[in-house]
């Protein structure tokens, strides 16, 4: 991954982690920092590099010094050979302009040239959003439900146990086919394409 993409992904993951430690929803950080929810969502999801003033506005309510924030960038953390996460520790993430899309970040990890993020996505029966693109690759696995997955000019019908791996630069969006929720495991691989 080039340095710019790595830094954008790292900053977003770090802000999401700090917000989670405070137990705040995205709206709470937005209110306290005076940065819009849409912008915070884009920053946390590695889609936008925050301007310096915006970053300072975000860090102030998090009570984090700028030097402390960047202290461990690029450093490999000691990895004991495993990462254990409890269900209640998953961090809910809001994505801009998405109705009925509940993302919960399970794991964010930087591995030699790749930023890995694993999320659970719960689609309500009326979930909707415009197509989006992601600067990396995505793998989705349908844990529960029945969905149509629009990928560029193709549509894939997925049932429980089906999966799809694709280049995130292609416009994409899932649509829930049921009157109940559908649940997907979503894995993002952010790397130099």
CATH number of the domain enclosing 168: 2.60.120.10
Say yes or no: 111 and 167 in one domain. Answer: yes
Say yes or no: 45 and 92 in one domain. Answer: no
Provide mean pLDDT across the span 16-43: 88
Give how far Cα 121 sits from Cα of 128, 154, 181, 182, Å.
13, 21, 10, 8
Instruction: Residue 38: give the domain boundaries.
Output: 3-70
Contact 42, 50 (CB under 8 A): no
What pTM was estimated for this model as a whole?
0.66
Q: Does some domain include residue 81?
A: no
Contact 93, 26 (CB under 8 A): yes
Last residue of a domain, one of 39, 70, 101: 70
CATH value at residue 8: 1.10.260.40
Provide mean pLDDT across the span 5-10: 72
| Predicted confidence (pLDDT) at residue 125 exceeds the cutoff of 70 | yes
Higher pLDDT, residue 172 or 112 = 172
Last residue of a domain, one of 70, 100, 120: 70
Q: How many domains does the chain have?
A: 2
Say yes or no: 114 and 58 in one domain. Answer: no
Last residue of a domain, one of 43, 70, 97: 70
Say yes or no: 131 and 182 in one domain. Answer: yes
* Sign for the pseudo-dihedral over CA of 10, 11, 16, 17: positive
Q: Does some domain include residue 12?
A: yes
Say yes or no: 63 and 92 in one domain. Answer: no
For the segment 56-101, what is each residue's pLDDT rounded down to a tens digit?
Answer: 999 999 999 888 888 767 654 566 777 787 888 787 776 667 788 8
Q: Does some domain include residue 75?
A: no
Q: Does some domain include residue 76?
A: no
């Amino acid at each position: 991954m080039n340095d710019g993409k790595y830094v954008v992904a790292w900053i977003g993951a770090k802000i999401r982690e700090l917000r989670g430690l405070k137990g705040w929803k995205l709206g709470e950080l937005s209110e306290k920092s005076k940065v819009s929810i849409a912008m915070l969502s884009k920053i946390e999801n590695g889609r936008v590099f925050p301007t310096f003033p915006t970053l300072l506005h975000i860090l102030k309510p998090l009570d984090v010094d700028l030097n402390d924030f960047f202290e461990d960038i690029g450093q490999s953390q000691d990895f004991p050979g495993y990462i254990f996460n409890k269900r209640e520790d998953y961090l809910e993430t809001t994505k801009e302009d998405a109705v009925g899309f509940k993302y919960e970040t399970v794991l964010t990890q930087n591995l030699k040239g790749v930023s890995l993020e694993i999320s659970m996505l719960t689609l309500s029966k009326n979930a909707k959003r415009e197509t989006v693109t992601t600067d990396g690759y995505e793998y989705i696995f349908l844990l529960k439900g029945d969905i149509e997955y629009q990928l560029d000019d193709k549509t894939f019908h997925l049932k429980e146990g089906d999966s799809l791996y694709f280049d995130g630069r292609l416009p994409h969006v899932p649509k829930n086919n049921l009157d109940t929720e559908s649940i997907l495991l979503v894995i993002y691989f952010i790397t130099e394409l």
